[in-house]
Structure 1
Amino acid sequence: MSGKLWIGIDGGGTKTTAVIGDESGHLLAVAKGSSGNLTAISTEQLYTLINELIDQLLTKTDAAFTDVEIVYAAMAGADRQAEQQKIYEAFKQSPVLEKLKIQSDIHAALAAGTWGREGTLIISGTGAIIFGYEQQKTFRVGGWGYLLGDEGSGYHLGKLAIRSVLKANDDKVPLKPFQEKILTHFNVLSPDQLITKIYGSPNPVTAISSVSRILLDAFEEDQIAKSLVTTVQEALLELIESAYSRIDRTKPVVLHGGLFSNNTFYEAFTLRFSSRFPDLIALKPIISGTVGAYLLALHESKVEVSDPVKQTIQQTWRLLEGEIT
């Protein structure tokens, strides 16, 4: 094929996804690879990963790399300039370098909600963080990790859920149905066995976070579950309170992450959010961070993302997203 093309890459902790499209918003192909988190892989591994994704996309579209204008790689762990420079150094002998733009995956997540424009991002996934981007300046609140922070996150919710099981055991009271499901989830018969199971897990943070969906399923039926979810939402609102003076009220607040993808959590949270911050408008992205990275590639080339382009992006993304989920 002929014509200019743009590539967006979104590197996360478990997988990296990429998309290629033209200036009219036609997304033509997607590709998937392994983890793109710089805290988990080397720059050499990242170099191989990005090249493999580019090759996949070019093969699927029968395009040449000369057709590509920008490769926008939004990678977890690449928020500091020193880390970005290491990646650029890895590509110094590659033709990809002159077209490569490295940024944090947070930028792509924000772009997915603002169509590449400025605004504020609230992430509530395994961790929790607020990120703002305005007039080429950024701010961050939270994001201190599971040992020092992450209040308002899936990890926080999972930890509270597991603690409720242990407290019930200490108090010698019967377990609630959601607490019994936590034991089943970890394939143990009693609360005391949770200690060995969780502390012996290869990734305790992920193991603990995974429990959050059990609590959300019980949100409407169980008062303890509802109380714990409310505690986590309150912690997230307090995080927003800390960032409030720096948030641009004229721009949207994008809600992103695993907890917000749960409708029960999202609806309960937005009611509390609107009551606490009536001058802020919250929204959930209708496209992925991968497409957000593609949008940032278009903006890098000063391509206008008009309403017809947005519609085309949404339509073509619906046709492709199933290939990488």
Structure 2
Amino acid sequence: MLRRDVFLGIDGGGTHSTAIAVDLEGNVLAKVIGESINYYSLGMKRARHHLIQIMDQILEKVKIESFESVYIGNSALSQEATAAMIDEFTSGIIKSGSVYMHSDSYIALIAMTIGKPGILIISGTGSMGIAKGLTDELLNIGGWGYLLGDYGSAYHIALQGIQAAVAAEEGMSKATMLKEALKRYFAALDMRDLIDKFYNPPLDRHIIAGFASEVAKCAEQSDEVALKLVKQAAHDLANHALELEKRLNIQGVPIGASGSVFTKNNYIFDEFKGLLEQNCPFSAVRLIDFPPEFGAIFACFHENKILLEPSIQQRMKLTYELLKEE
């Protein structure tokens, strides 16, 4: 196998993981999508197994035996991992001169700000916000998980939509398109069929979270109940950003949005953006330009004292897009 300086960045989200291999010039050599590596929700053994699968695939694609350096964003974390934790998770799996690990939200923030001040709100299966000011201190909000919070997340939106449909079926709430959408989405002939589908065996929360897109579709068709739910989700996420902006106390700091709730639901993002533009008129509000796995590479370059030139960023973007077309 050829020896070359190749860096690996991994975005280990709650639902799936994305890994990219990049050389010093910024060429994205390979991309692999694997399963989640969150060892808190999956357990260490299963998470390590998923990491092995990812590493086997990416090494095969790049045709090398080891990486110069590796940076992992892991949804199991809320701060930088200790050397002991990195070793427990990656020992015997990753061959590299150095391995770093932080939260998946951190690498998403770095993808947006490249180390400058900024606020990022993330909403996928779960939700949270992260911000960086003029120092290296990070501020966090949300990220409590599906049992304790995750307001504005796909799971939260979906569960509320499901409960609204059930309430309508029982005649205890307003009629809503969500009822038919629920039966259609989970292939149930009758509402009572849902009991078996949800509990026997228990339905994975990531599958439940997928129903959020159906709630958004019903909202786009002016369903009153669905509209109320997605509007509340946008308000919850905007409030996350407003609280972080207050804590930072920096006027005009950019605010980014990331995750499937924003990228797949125009209504929610537009409502979110509108609320923030009213309350933070000097802040630019936008979807992030680079995916979180780019942030892992940016952080990896930083740790290895490699200057991240604009030309490298653009080459990463171009070659990443070319990989998607293959």
Q: Same fold (TM over 0.5)?
A: yes
Q: Give 1:160 deviation, angstroms.
A: 2.3
Conserved? CA contact 1:111–1:295, under 8 Å:
yes
Distance 2:63 2:253 in 1: 39
**Cα deviations by residue, 1:238-261 (Å, 9 ceiling, x for unpaired):** 333332312344542221111101
Give unmatched runs, 5+ long, in structure 2: none
Letter in 1 for 2:29: L
Matching residue of 1:167 = 167
For residues 42 and 157 of structure 2, the distance between their equivalents in structure 1, rounded to whole angstroms, comes to 28
User: Which of the pair has the greater relative contact order for Cα pairs under 8 Å at 6+ separation?
Assistant: 1
Structure 1 residue 111 corresponds to structure 2 residue 110 = yes
SS in 1 for 2:170: helix
1:29 aligns with 30
Assess if the C-alpha contact under 8 Å between 1:88 and 1:97 holds in 2.
Answer: no
- For 2:10 and 2:208, locate their aligned partners in 1 and report how far apart those are by CA, in whole Å: 28
Deviations 1:6-56 (A, max 9, x none): 111122233322111122211111223332111244445545544554443
- The CA RMSD measured in Å over matched residues stands at 2.9
Contact preservation (8 Å) 1:43, 1:86: no
Alignment of 1:215 onto 2:215: yes
What letter is aligned with 1:161? G
Secondary structure of the structure 1 residue equivalent to 2:147: helix
- Counting aligned pairs with the same residue, the percent is 27
Compared with structure 1, are the counterparts of its residues 30 and 172 closer, same or farther at alpha carbon in structure 2 (3 Å cutoff)?
closer
Report deviation, 1:163.
2.5
Partner of 1:235: 236
> For the structure 1 residues 81 and 270, does the alpha-carbon distance in structure 2 shift closer, same or farther, using more than 3 Å as the test?
closer
Does residue 1:148 correspond to 2:148, yes or no?
yes
User: What are the equivalent positions in structure 2 for 1:30-69 lying under 5 Å apart?
Assistant: 30-47=31-48, 49-50=50-51, 52-65=53-66, 68-69=67-68
Q: How does 1:246-261 map to 2 (within 5 A)?
A: 246-247=247-248, 248-261=250-263
Task: Please name the residue that 1:181 is paired with.
Answer: 181
Structure 2 CA distance for aligned equivalents of residues 283 and 162 of structure 1: 30
1:49-84 deviation digits (Å, cap 9, x = unpaired): 44554443343233342xx33111112203356776
User: In structure 1, what residue type is equivalent to 2:113?
Assistant: T
Give me the TM-score of the superposition, normalised by structure 2: 0.85
1:75-106 CA distances to partner (integer Å, 9 max, x unpaired)? 22033567762332455678836411111111
Which deviates more, 95-104 or 137-146? Answer: 95-104
CA contact (8 A) 1:72 1:102 kept: yes
Counterpart for residue 281 of structure 2:
278
Q: Which moved more, 1:229-238 or 1:312-321?
A: 229-238
- Counterpart position of 2:77: 78
Contact 1:166–1:192 (Cα < 8 Å) also in 2: no
Matched, 1:4 2:5: yes
> What's the secondary structure of 1:17's corresponding residue?
strand
* Superposed displacement of residue 148, structure 1: 2.0
5+ unaligned residues in a row in structure 1: which ranges?
none
Kindly tell me the number of residue pairs found equivalent between the two proteins. 321
